[in-house]
Amino acid sequence: MYELIGVTKQYRRGRTRVDALAGVDLAIGQGDRLVIQGPTGGGKSTLLQMLGGLDRPTSGSVLLDGTDLAKLSERRLTAVRGQNIGFVFQSFNLIPTLTALENVETALVPLGVKTADRRDRAAEALDSVGLVERLGHLPSELSGGQQQRVAIARALVKRPKVLLADEPTGNLDESMRDEIVDLLEGLCEEHGLTFVMVTHDSAVARRAPRLATIRKGRITVKENRPVG
């Protein structure tokens, strides 16, 4: 599915240069589940941006099914994001003025899905995250956990190949975390998605079949034998 070869990313801020990624090689297979951990500022989010085509590496290649995202035009990259990649963010990133249903619909807009069809699919996606009776609610009228469920529905409604989640439970309280992680893992398994998640939750990390750790832009991957 993914093959990263010598990926570096440098950010320049004035005179100082930050090496967010300092040569990352990584392979992720179809349907794999990868959990990424690491200290703050290590480059986790940066790596996720490379995987999701949100940004281009300074050097190296990011191959997604053989296509190098680093070499795609902005237009093609946008299309790849629209079709193949689902994102779940730490702070949900719902459009505050749109209802839950409309928020989910926004993911289908780039695919040119017809209005009625779009609505049905969005409602279906919200049903799959257990929010069918909240379609008309605004984000501000939903709890954090519910907002993240809407965001998950939005990420999955277009049936992407990959789901990328950057600390999806970071803004949620304890009781909600397991629920959301379980939901994500369950849905990915159900749809056979490749799933990459950044988390600080060590319990979640311990459960992961593959665990990557990023420190100062360098990655180490460990195959986990899940305990119990």
Ligand X SMILES: Nc1ncnc2c1ncn2[C@@H]1O[C@H](COP(=O)(O)OP(=O)(O)OP(=O)(O)O)[C@@H](O)[C@H]1O
Binding site for Mg ion (CB under 5 A): 45
Cα 16–Cα 21–Cα 22 angle in degrees, nearest 5: 90
For the segment 23-82, give every residue that binds ligand X (CB under 6 A): 38, 40-46
Using rule CB under 6 A, residue 11 touches ligand X: yes
Using rule CB under 8 A, residue 154 touches other proteins: yes
The Cα diameter of the chain in Å comes to 53
CB distance 8 to 59 below 8 Å: yes
| Among ligand X, other proteins, Mg ion, none, residue 38 binds (CB under 5-8 Å by kind) | ligand X
- C-alpha atoms less than 13 angstroms from C-alpha of 116 in its C-beta half-sphere: 0
Using rule CB under 8 A, residue 44 touches other proteins: no
Quick one: which of 15, 17, 74, 116 contacts other proteins (CB under 8 A)?
Answer: 74
CB distance 63 to 5 below 8 Å: yes
| Among ligand X, other proteins, Mg ion, none, residue 91 binds (CB under 5-8 Å by kind) | other proteins
| Among Mg ion, ligand X, other proteins, none, residue 41 binds (CB under 5-8 Å by kind) | ligand X
Which strand (E) or helix (H) includes residue 156?
A: helix 144-156
Nearer to Mg ion, 105 or 167 (CB): 167
Residue 212's contacts (CB-CB under 8 Å, 6 or more residues apart) are 26, 34, 35, 36, 37, 219, 220, 221, 222
Q: Which residues bind other proteins (CB under 8 A)?
A: 45, 48-49, 52-55, 74-75, 78-79, 81-83, 87, 89-91, 93, 95-98, 102, 105-107, 109-111, 115, 118, 154, 166
